[in-house]
Amino acid sequence: MANRVERPWGWFESLGSGEGYQVKRLCIHAGQRISLQRHRHRLEHWVVVAGDGELECAGQRLAAAPGTTLEVPCGAVHRASAGGSDLLIVEVQRGSLLSEDDIERLEDDYARAASAG
């Protein structure tokens, strides 16, 4: 089921999905970060499984290391950044729209569009 989708910051792949949920694996390459973003139709739960970096949610910053978890409520502004090694995160999404169309980018290091959809 896992089909890898390359992004400027690394890649993600879907590990499984069902009614109202999706599980993804994200790899953020060392020194890179995802856009500062929010979702209108889903919440996310992140579990760091490898690497180091920083997680940001609703203005709070948290050091990321294996075992670190973060709950990202629907509508919360958030971002993950890798430190000196690739940051590997397992992400569980729950909500009514579980697609890349539900991304509102507020800041992006790679000059991508503000809306993914």
Q: In this structure, what CATH number is given to the domain that contains residue 46?
A: 2.60.120.10
Question: Which amino acid, one-letter code, is at 111?
Answer: A
* pLDDT at residue number 112: 81
The pLDDT of residue 49 is: 99
On whether residue 80 sits in a domain, the answer given is yes
- Whether residue 117 is contained in a domain is answered as no
Give the range of the structural domain holding residue 46, as residue numbers without chain letter. 4-107
Listed residue (8, 10, 11, 80) closest to 44, CA to CA: 80
Model pLDDT for residues 27-43, shown as the tens digit of each residue: 999 999 999 999 999 99
Whether 63 is covered by a domain: the verdict is: yes
Q: Can you give the pLDDT at residue 97?
A: 87
What is the number of structural domains in the chain?
1
Q: Which residues of the chain have pLDDT under 70?
A: 1-2, 115-117
Rounded to whole angstroms, the Cα distance separating 70 from 116 reads 23
